[in-house]
Chain A
Amino acid sequence: MLCNLVRKEILANLLSLRFTLALLLTISLFSVSGFVFVARYRQQSQDYWSQTNENLSKLSDSASQLYKLAFGQQKFWRRPKPLTLCAEGSERYLPNVIRSDLFGTSLPATGGRGNFLLRRFHDVDWVFIISIPLSFVALLFTYDSFCGEKESGTLRLILSGSVPRYRILAGKYLGAVGAFILPLLAGLLINLIIVVSSRAVDLRPADWLRFLGIFLISISYLSVFLLLGMFVSSRVSHSISSIVILLLIWAGLVVLLPSFGSVVAETTVVLPPADGFRRRILETMKRIDEEAAAGKYGKNVDEVWNGDPNYPVANLPGVARYREDWATSVSSLWEGRHNQMLAQAYAGRDFACLSPAVIYQRASEAIAGTGIHRCVDLCRQVKRYHDDLRQFILDQDAGDPNSLHMLIDLDFAAEKWGTLSKKPVDFSTVPKFEERDYGFSESLQLAGWDIGVLLLLNLLFFAASFVSFVRYDVR
C-alpha cells in the first residue's frame, strides 16, 4: 500500500507545474554554475601555479647563501580547490595570501583579481542553488500535501479506507522526496558532466566521496523543508494559507535570519578602529625605540643602523634582542587584531546558525574543505612551515664557524658582519610549503554537529507532522 501511495505521489508531482518549474530552474542554474566554475577554475589554477612557481624560483635563488634564505620573503597563496564547485565558502572575499620571512609572518591578505567595488554576491555554487532557490521549491512540493487534498476531497476518500494515517504521511513524504530528487539529480549530473568533460579539473577519488557527502547533506537539508511544508499543510485548511505561512517562514529562515548575523557580529564583538590601531602600533614602536635609547638592551644598539662595515661594531647581541622585541611586539599586536577579526566573524556565524540554511552551508564547507575554516587552517600551516624553516636555518647556521649565529632582521647586518651564515644551501633539503587538505574523516568530524542538527530537524518536523496529521480534521 505504501508503494502505491508513493507511486501516486510521485506521478502527481511529475505531472505538476511545480515539477516543470523545478526542473527548469535546477537544470539552468546548475548548467550556468558548471560553465562558470570551469572558466574560473582554469583562471585560478593558472594564477596559482604561476604565483607558486615564482615563489619557488625566488626560494631557489635565495638558497645560494643561507642568510638570503632567511631574508627572502615568500608568498603563500591559497590553492584553488575543485570542491569550490559545491561550496565556494565566500573564498572570493576571504584573504588568500600570506607573506612570510624568517622574522615574521604577515596577516593573511587579499590579493589577486578581487574587486572591492562589487557588491558582495554569492557564487552560484551547489550550496547557493540548494540552500536558497531549491529550499523554496521544496516547500512548493509539499505546501498542499494535506490541505490541498482536503480541499479537493481526496483525503477524505483515502482515509475512508483502511490505510493508517502514518502510512499516508510516509507515502506523501517519500513521494515528495522521490519526485524532488529527480530534478536535483538531473541538475547535479549535468553540472558534473560539464565539469568533468572540460578536463580543466582534476578530480581525485577522495573528491568524489566528498561530492557524495555534500549530496547527502543536501538531501537532508531539503528534506527539512519538505517536512516543514507537510507540517504547515497539516495545520491549516487551505493551501493558500499554507503557502503564505511557509513563504514567511522561509523568507525569515533562509534570507533574513542569516543576514542578522552581520548585525550581531558588529554589535557583540567591537573591532577597534583601524586608525586607532595604527597609532597603537606606532606608539609601540616608539616605546621600544625609547627603551633602546634608554639602554634596555645595552649601549650602542642603534649604531648598527650605520651599515658601515668599518664602524666599531658594538653590542650586536643587544641589537638582536632589541630587533626581536620590536618584531615580536608588533606581530603580537597584529595577531591580536586578527584574532578579534575572526572572533567577530565567528560570533555572527554562530548566531546565523539558527537558520538551517547556514547550518547546511557550514556542513558543506566543512566537507568540501573550503570557507573561513580553511583560511584559519592555512594560517596555521604557514606558521608551522615558518617554524620548520627557522629551525632548518638555525641548524644549518650552527654548522658554520664563520657565522655569529645571531638573528637580526637587518639584511646588511648579515651581509656585512656575518650575523648569519653565507654558505650555500642544498635547495632540495630546504623545506617547501604545500597546503594540506583535511582528510575526509577530519572533515566529517568538523561537520558532525551540523549534520546532527539537520537530522534532528528532520526528525522533529516528521514527528510534528505526524502528530499534527493524526489530529487533522479531514472533513
Chain B
Amino acid sequence: MIWKLAKKDLLLNLMTFKFAVGTIVCVLLTVALMPALVHDYQQRWQEYRAGVTADEEELRAAKVYDNVTSGRRVYRPPPVLSVFSRGVESQVSNSASISNHSMPEIGAGWAAVNPYLAILRTLDLSLLYQMVLSLLALLVACDAISGERVTGTLMLIASGTVARHEVLLAKVVAGVLTLVVPLTMAFLSAILVLSLSSVADLAAADWVRMGLLYLVTLLFLLAVYNGGLLISCLTGYPVTSLMLGLFFWVILALIIPNAGGYLATQFRPLEPAEPTKAKISALDDEYFFKAAGAGDKIPLRGRGVEHEEKAFRRYTLVCDEEWIDSLIKRNLAREPFRREYVDRSRELEHQYVETLFRQERLATSLSRISPVCMYENVMSALAGTDTAGCRSFVAAARAHRQEVLEYVRAKTDNLQAPLLFTPCTPADRQQYQQYLDKKMSEEEFQQWKDRRIAQLRPLDLQDYPRFVYRGDILRDLRASLLDVSALVFANALFFALAFVVFLKYDVR
C-alpha cells in the first residue's frame, strides 16, 4: 500500500510546474557553472605545477646540502572535488616553507589570495544545491499534507484502511524519489563536465568521494523535505505552510550560516595578531644575536671565495681547509640555538593559531543548528577543502621537513662534511693555493672561477625525500561523521515530529 501511495504522489510531483522549473534550473545552472569551476580548478592546478616545477629546479641546481635546507617550498595539490565545495581552501595558503630556520604552520598565505575578492561571495556546486534543490524539496513537501487536505483527497485516503504512518511513509518515499531525479541529473552533468575536462584526473578515491557527496546531498534534501512535511502537518493550507516553510528556510539557509561566524567573533574574540608577530620578531633578533655570538667565538680562519647563484643558492666555491673547518664549527655552534629558536617560535605561532581554530570551532558549532551548515561541513570535509584538510597538509609538511633535515644530517656526517657548504675538491684547492701564492693572475683566476662554476655538477639527490601529499579519505570521513550523524538525527527528529502531529491531524 505504501508503494501505491508513493507512486501516486511521485507521479503527481513529477508532473508539477515547480518540479519542472526546479529541475531545469538546477541542471542548467550546473552545466553553466561547471566550466567556470573547472577553469578555476585548472588555474589552481597550473599554479601548483609551476610551484612544484620551480622547487624541483631549485633542487636539481643545488650544489651543496645547505641549499636544500633553506628557501624550499612544498605545495598542496588543489583537491579536484573543490568544484563541489570550496570550503576555506581559497583563504588558506596552499604551500609551506621547508627550512631549517622555521617550522611550517598554517597561514593565510603570502599574497597568494586576493583579499579584495572578499567583497564577492564564493560559488560552488554545494551552494547551488543548498539554494535550488533545497527550495524544490521545500516546495514539494509543503503541500504534501495540507495540499491534500484542501483538495479533499486526504479525507478520502484516511477514510480507507490505510494507516496514517503508511500515508506519511509514502509521502517520504515519494519525496525522496522526486528529489533523486533532479539531483541525479545535476550530479551526472557535473561529473560529465568534470571527466570531459582534460585537467581533472579522477582517482578511485575521488569516485568514492563523489558517491558520498551524492548520498550526503540526498540526506540533506531529505532533512529539508521532512522539515517541510512537518510544517505541512502543522498547518491547514498549503500557502500557509509554504510561507512558514520559506520563513524557516531563510533563517536556516541564510541567516544562521552568517550569524554563526558573526556571533563566534563576539563570544570568543581573538587577540590581535601583531603582538605574536612582534614576539616572534623579538625571538628572531634574540636568536640572531645568540647564534651570531656563539659563531663569533670561533674565528673564521683561512680564505675562501663565496658564490651566489641566486637567492638561497649560495655556497663557497673554493676555499682552504681552515676556512671550511671554521665554517662547519661555526654552524655546529649555532645549531642548538637554531633548534631552540624554531621550537620557541613554533610554540608562539602554534598558540596563536590554536585561538583561531577555537574560534572557528565555535562558529561551526553555533551554526550547526542549521542543516544547511551541517551539509556544508560534510561537503567541505569530503571534498578535502575544510580546515582539517589544511591542517593535515601542514602536518605532512612538518614531517617532510624532519625527513629533509635527517637526510642532510645523514649525507653530511651529522653536519660535519664539507659538502654542506662547498663543492670544493682537492684539485680546486690546489688552484686556489696557486692564486693565493700569486702564481696565478687575478684575470686567470677569474677565468678559472667561471669555468669551474660552469662545470660544477649539482648534488646527486636521487634518494632525497620527495614530498607527496594525498588526502586521506578515512580522515575526511571521520571529520564528517559528526555532521552526518547530525543530519541523520535531524531527519529522524523531523519525521518523528511530523508523525506525531499527523496522528492528530484533522483531515476535514
Contacts and interface: CB of A to CB of B under 8 A. Distances in A.
18 contacts: A17-B243, A25-B251, A110-B108, A111-B274, A116-B88, A116-B107, A116-B108, A118-B360, A119-B261, A120-B91, A121-B363, A239-B239, A244-B17, A244-B21, A263-B40, A286-B311, A348-B120, A371-B119
A120 B118 contact: yes
B88 A345 contact: no
Given A115-B265, A115-B359, A279-B54, A251 B135 contact: yes
A133 B254 CA distance: 8
A307 to B, nearest CB: 15
List 8 tightest A-B contacts by C-beta distance, closest first.
Answer: A93-B118, A345-B116, A259-B123, A121-B261, A116-B108, A273-B47, A274-B112, A262-B120
B259 to A, nearest CB: 6
A21 B118 contact: no
Given A121-B257, A136-B246, A36 B119 contact: no
Contact of B131 (A95, A120, A255, A263): A255
A136 B264 contact: no
B461 interface: no
A128 B119 CA distance: 13
A240 B143 contact: yes
Contacts of B351: none
Interface string B81-101: 000000110011001000000
Given A132-B254, A251-B135, A267-B36, A94 B118 contact: yes
Contact of A247 (B29, B139, B273): B139
Contacts of B46: 273
A37 to B, nearest CB: 10
A263 B91 contact: no
A108 B51 CA distance: 25
Interface of B: 17-18, 21-22, 25, 29, 33, 36-37, 39-40, 43, 46-47, 50-51, 54, 73, 87-88, 91-92, 95, 106-112, 114-123, 127-128, 131-132, 135, 139, 143, 238-240, 242-244, 246-247, 250-251, 254-255, 257-266, 269-274, 310-311, 356-357, 359-360, 363, 376, 387, 390
B120 A258 contact: yes
Contact of B91 (A116, A244, A341, A348): A116
A352 interface: yes
A423 B139 CA distance: 77
Contacts of B108: 110, 116
Main DSSP-derived SS at the B contact region? helix
Contacts of B270: 113-115
Interface in A96-122: 107, 110-122
B29 A112 contact: no
B115 A110 contact: yes
Interface stretch (A39-47, A62-70, A425-433, A463-471): A39-47
Contacts of B128: 256
A258 B260 CA distance: 21
Contact of B250 (A122, A136, A275, A348): A136
Given A115-B270, A136-B250, A248-B21, A128 B258 contact: yes
Given A47-B272, A282-B310, A270 B43 contact: yes
Contact of A21 (B92, B243, B260): B243
Contact of A263 (B33, B51, B107, B356): B33
A278 B128 CA distance: 36
A441 B21 CA distance: 45
Nearest to A108: B115
A375 interface: yes
B363 A118 contact: yes
B116 A94 contact: yes
B116 A341 contact: yes
Interface of A: 17-18, 21, 25, 29, 32, 36, 39-40, 43, 47, 89-90, 92-95, 107, 110-124, 128, 132-133, 136, 140, 144, 239-241, 243-245, 247-248, 251-252, 255-256, 258-267, 270-271, 273-279, 282, 285-286, 337, 341-342, 344-345, 348-349, 352, 371-372, 375
Contact of B269 (A94, A113, A248, A348): A113
A353 to B, nearest CB: 11
Given A39-B266, A93-B115, A244-B139, A118 B359 contact: yes
Contacts of B135: 247-248, 251
A246 to B, nearest CB: 10
B117 A282 contact: no
A53 to B, nearest CB: 14
A301 to B, nearest CB: 17
Contacts of A267: 36, 39-40
A18 B115 contact: no
A33 to B, nearest CB: 9
Contacts of A95: 115-116
Contacts of B25: 248, 252
Contact of A256 (B22, B29, B112, B271): B29
A265 B271 contact: no
B354 to A, nearest CB: 11
Given A341-B115, A349-B120, A274 B109 contact: yes
B122 A121 contact: no
Contacts of A275: 47, 50-51, 54, 73, 95
A121 B370 CA distance: 15
Nearest to A109: B115
Contacts of A274: 109-112
Contacts of A285: 311
A144 B237 CA distance: 14
A272 B29 CA distance: 29
A90 B118 contact: yes
Contact of B120 (A36, A89, A251, A345): A345
A21 B250 CA distance: 12
B143 to A, nearest CB: 7
Contacts of B243: 17-18, 21, 140, 243
Contact of A372 (B47, B111, B119): B119
Given A273-B51, A337-B111, A117 B21 contact: no
A456 B292 CA distance: 70
The residue among B50, B73, B240 with the most chain A CB atoms within 10 A of its own CB is: B50
Given A95-B115, A248-B135, A276-B54, 9 more contacts: A18-B243, A40-B265, A92-B118, A94-B116, A111-B274, A118-B264, A258-B120, A260-B123, A342-B116
B311 A140 contact: no
A29 B36 contact: no
A342 to B, nearest CB: 6
Contacts of B255: 29, 124, 132-133
